[in-house]
Amino acid sequence: MTLTKFRKSAPVFSPFFDSLLDSDFFDNRMQRDLPSTNIKELDDRFEVELAVPGFDKDDVNIELNDGLLTISSEKSEEKEDKDARYSRREFFYQSFKRSFRMPDNVNEESIKAQVKNGILTVEIPKRNEEKKAKTIQIS
């Protein structure tokens, strides 16, 4: 009788297959499908930047509802190439949805958005609230 050492998988594929069984693989995959985001707070506004290469401003839906800013998109495309000897049809579908809780001091009526060089920038101005001096009588 000969004893043989058992391996889970071939050494060339081991890291790949181990990552498939790792629960973090699925979490990381889901995070990669969301656009990278930067949020800046400036003196007069907040800026939210999302990396959305291949998207136009019309492809993106931006909503502010009860202090929750939601940026989403669903984009689909169908290409068909026909030749005398073959026909090829390709489908493309991409979607994302990101939500951010806004602070109370934003001016909801003046939000602006633009897409330039694959970056969606949402400018959210702060409300201009003048600080009122309070006089308190101390007895």
Share of the chain above pLDDT 70, in %: 68
- What is the reported pTM? 0.61
Residue 37 or 10, more confident: 37
As beta bridge partners, residue 72 has 61, 97
* Domain contains 43: yes
**Residue 53 sits in which domain range?**
34-71+98-125
* Domain contains 51: yes
* Domain contains 76: no
Residue 137 or 109, more confident: 109
* Domain contains 38: yes
**pLDDT tens, 92-112?**
778 889 999 988 888 888 899
* Domain contains 25: no
Q: Report the CATH number that the domain containing residue 67 is assigned in CATH.
A: 2.60.40.790
* Domain contains 107: yes
* Domain contains 53: yes
**pLDDT tens, 72-81?**
988 877 777 7
SS3 130: coil
Number of domains in the chain: 1
Helix 23-32 to helix 14-21 angle (10° resolution) is: 80
* Domain contains 136: no
